[in-house]
Amino acid sequence: MRKTQPIIAAVALGLALTLSACHKQEQAASTQTATLARPGSIGDTAAWNKYLGQLVAQNAGDFANNNIYPYMVPAGDNDAAKAEYQRQLQSVQGVIARTVLPGNLLVFAGPSSAITAKFVGEAFTGAQANSFKGVTVMFIGDKADEATVQKDIAASGATFKFVQM
């Protein structure tokens, strides 16, 4: 009996640690599934980054983090927002002109779905036909803008993925 007590104690300890780890994993999973609400102010960049980042994480599927290229399209009508929009548009147009390797995910999102849809349309005007085969373009926005964005990227050959904000 005395020889089996250490074995029983070791098994009990192992079982307790396993159950404890499972409980921590359940807590972590429930914390991760807590969803953030859509921010009310278009000027709250930090809140929008968190919210949109959550949507990307929930919808990226099998893409590895190093294959995801998110673009947060600024909204607003002040000079700073307009300048940032133009800088980012020029950058994205350059990327699209050089094409993107298959297996990558381009994500376009921002506080204003309509402005983001316009941005994608402008960015993809220089895309060569079928140059984005094997690339996925995710648009996070409103259902009303989905068809426009899908049409704007169609000639590029990219796979389109829509995520409702």
pLDDT in tens, 34-72: 688 888 888 888 888 898 889 888 888 878 777 899 999
> CA 135, CA 9: separation in Å to the nearest integer?
55
Instruction: Give pTM, 2 decimals.
Output: 0.76
Q: Which residues pair with 164 in a beta bridge?
A: 141
pLDDT band of residue 33 (cuts 50, 70, 90) is low
DSSP 3-state assignment of 63?
coil
Eight-state DSSP code of residue 51: H
Q: What is the pLDDT of residues 115-149, one digit of tens each?
A: 999 999 999 998 999 999 999 999 999 999 999 99
